[in-house]
């Protein structure tokens, strides 16, 4: 049974090979080639050219935006650099102003301190003079009292007639 199927299949392939086989060249080949070329021309006109133009326009748009972005970035970096420079100068100026203010405050404080010391010294001297005056006054009163007491003692001891 197997032999019969194989013989039938071999007879059919022999008949197909006689008719032309896989590459039968006739009028359909040039017609197919013409159809292909027409299809390519139509696709090129309708699809590829507009698509290519859109792609190129998009690429130009991207390039343009990229250049603008680079220019903006360069400008921003330049501004940032300028701001940093200005900030540094401002910091230096503020530090010099602060140093000058501290120096002025130190001068004022030392002036006030010297004035306060001078005033304290003057008050000390005044107090010492007052104390000296009080001391002298107290000594004079004491001398008077001593003289008075000495007379009284002498009067009591010697009598009132002899003392004068």
Side-chain half-sphere exposure of 79, counting CA atoms within 13 A: 6
Q: Would you give the distance in Å from CA 37 to the centre of its chain?
A: 67
* pLDDT of the residue at 16: 47
Q: What is the DSSP letter of 27?
A: T
Q: Each residue of 46-60: pLDDT tens digit?
A: 988 999 999 999 999
Cβ-contact 145, 136 below 8 angstroms: no
Q: Each residue of 67-122: pLDDT tens digit?
A: 999 999 999 999 999 999 999 999 999 999 999 999 999 999 999 999 999 999 99
Cβ-contact 163, 151 below 8 angstroms: yes
């Amino acid at each position: 049974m197997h032999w019969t199927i194989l013989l039938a299949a071999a007879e059919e392939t022999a008949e197909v090979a006689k008719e032309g086989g896989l590459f039968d060249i006739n009028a359909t080949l040039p017609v197919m080639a013409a159809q292909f070329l027409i299809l390519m021309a139509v696709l090129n006109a309708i699809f590829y050219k507009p698509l290519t133009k859109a792609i190129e326009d998009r690429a130009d748009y991207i390039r343009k935006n990229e250049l603008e972005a680079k220019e903006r970035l360069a400008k921003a970096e330049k501004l940032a650099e300028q701001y940093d420079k200005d900030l540094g100068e401002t910091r230096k100026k503020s530090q010099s102003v602060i140093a000058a203010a501290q120096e002025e405050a130190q001068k004022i404080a030392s002036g006030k301190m010297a004035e306060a010391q001078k005033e304290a010294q003057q008050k000390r001297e005044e107090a010492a003079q007052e104390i000296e005056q009080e001391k002298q006054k107290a000594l004079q009163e004491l001398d008077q009292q001593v003289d008075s007491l000495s007379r009284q003692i002498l009067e009591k001891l010697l009598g009132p007639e002899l003392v004068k």
